[in-house]
Amino acid sequence: MKYYFGWAKDDEIRERGANGGFVTATLMGALETGLIDAALVVKKYGIYEGVPVLTSDTEVVKESAGSLHAAPLNVAKIIVKYAKDMRLGVPVKPCDARGIIEQAKRKQLNIENVFMIGLNCGGTLHPLLMREMVASLFDVQPDVVLKEEIREGKIIIMTSAEGLEERAIRIDEAEERGFGRRYACKICTTKIPRMADMACGNWGVPREESHLKTFVEVLTEKGEALLRNAIDGGYVIVEEAPQDALDKRNRTESYMQRRASYWKARLDVLADSERRERFEYYIKMLKKCIHCGACKEVCPVCACVEDAKCHEFCDESDDHIVSIFNLIRILHLMDSCILCGQCEDVCPVDIPLTYIHRRFSERMQKKLGYTPGMDISQKPPLHETKLLWEAE
């Protein structure tokens, strides 16, 4: 059996969880039985801020239950920095999992130590744009919102703890009006994290039960170990998911992928441009760079350290119109950029970095037949080339 409906046995965890608290209960079980040393979860500060927390305290894990859609973080670099050699349980969106896999390929962590509990992902919103959206589309003061949810293609906000004062807008409508998900999420086609150890989400669960049950797909031996541990320890309850639930989940995934293709085409502002126009666009955007280095710091794929080539050009003494720093990064990441949008989120001068990386990486990855972050056994082609040069 591979597909389940699962939920936390404990009523409090079930209630706190986004869809029945299966993920939280599984992590708590893994900690208490010693299957993992620590969990990396997202601590909430209201609905617009989530901070990754590394903990072995099950109470902290319990408090982190629930999904935050306006916290577009990526945990790959955090694992490398703080938990390299720990056995770790971590809820991951597809782009988290892909970053972790790329870091493992670059020998920054041991993938065998990381238990990836995948979360399906329809997308995340930038916290600032979410606030603006709440104010202008919902006509609600952003700070009075107590809860948010994404359900059946709608963004829903609640301004009373009991969920009585509920307002909703269709994501498609919000996005046509310039709000909604980040650019990276609009164009993202990897919605179910099948590269993780298990994939969890509400797609496929009957509507009336969706806050009480998670659809769980077990994908690897580590995923089986997590599930077995949680069942045997009495942390979760599971039942076999019926075929029609799986069909429904697949249909939703296909719909989301079609929407991503739509946005990919729609937001490709250089699609029909002449070479000169493209050149001018890149110059216009990239010359705004102030050499802060933040994009490299957060990139979940980049594994270069302080003496990286691009760093030599990440300062004001690089007085070219377009910083060499940016050009090196574009070249260096062409085979492996996962289009997660982390660089763009932190850029203080709002350079559309995801789109610019996409312009180069999409074509290169197609040519090389390489999709980063999917398969640990596939080596990054340009990384290998560098090693060959070094060997020579």
Nearer of residues 220 and 378 to ligand FAD, judged by Cβ: 220
The three-class DSSP label of residue 294 is helix
- The DSSP symbol for 208 reads G
Output the smallest distance, CB 306 to ligand FAD, in A. 28
Whole-number Å distance between alpha carbons of 148 and 129: 14
The backbone torsions φ and ψ at residue 131, rounded to the nearest 5 degrees and listed phi first, read -60, -45
| Sequence-distant (≥ 6) Cβ neighbours of residue 26 within 8 angstroms | 6, 89, 117, 226, 227, 229, 230, 235, 236
The three-class DSSP label of residue 4 is strand
Q: Any contact of residue 212 with ligand SF4 (CB under 6 A)? A: no
Q: Any contact of residue 357 with ligand SF4 (CB under 6 A)? A: yes
Q: Any contact of residue 120 with ligand FAD (CB under 6 A)? A: yes
- The DSSP symbol for 149 reads E
Taking CB under 6 A as the criterion, the residue among 3, 4, 10, 19 binding ligand FAD is 19
The three-class DSSP label of residue 132 is helix
Tokens 């990897």 map to which residue? Answer: 190
The three-class DSSP label of residue 384 is helix
Q: Any contact of residue 192 with ligand SF4 (CB under 6 A)? A: no
Taking CB under 6 A as the criterion, the residue among 91, 99, 193, 373 binding ligand FAD is 91
Residue 64's binding partner, choosing from ligand FAD, ligand SF4, none, with beta-carbon cut-off 5 to 8 A by kind? ligand FAD
Determine the angle formed by the axes of helices 275-286 and 353-368, rounding to 10 degrees: 130
Residue 290's binding partner, choosing from ligand SF4, ligand FAD, none, with beta-carbon cut-off 5 to 8 A by kind? ligand SF4
Whole-number Å distance between alpha carbons of 143 and 174: 20
Q: Any contact of residue 23 with ligand FAD (CB under 6 A)? A: yes
Residue 340's binding partner, choosing from ligand SF4, ligand FAD, none, with beta-carbon cut-off 5 to 8 A by kind? ligand SF4
Taking CB under 6 A as the criterion, the residue among 54, 68, 78, 338 binding ligand FAD is 68
Question: Which region among 16-24, 48-56, 121-129, 273-281 touches ligand SF4 (by CB under 6 A)?
Answer: 121-129
Whole-number Å distance between alpha carbons of 28 and 13: 10
The site for ligand FAD (CB under 6 A) is made up of 17-24, 41-42, 50, 64-69, 71, 73, 91, 93, 119-122, 124, 200-203, 214
The site for ligand SF4 (CB under 6 A) is made up of 72, 93-95, 121, 123-124, 184-185, 188, 190, 289-295, 299-301, 326, 333, 337-343, 346-349, 351, 353-354, 357
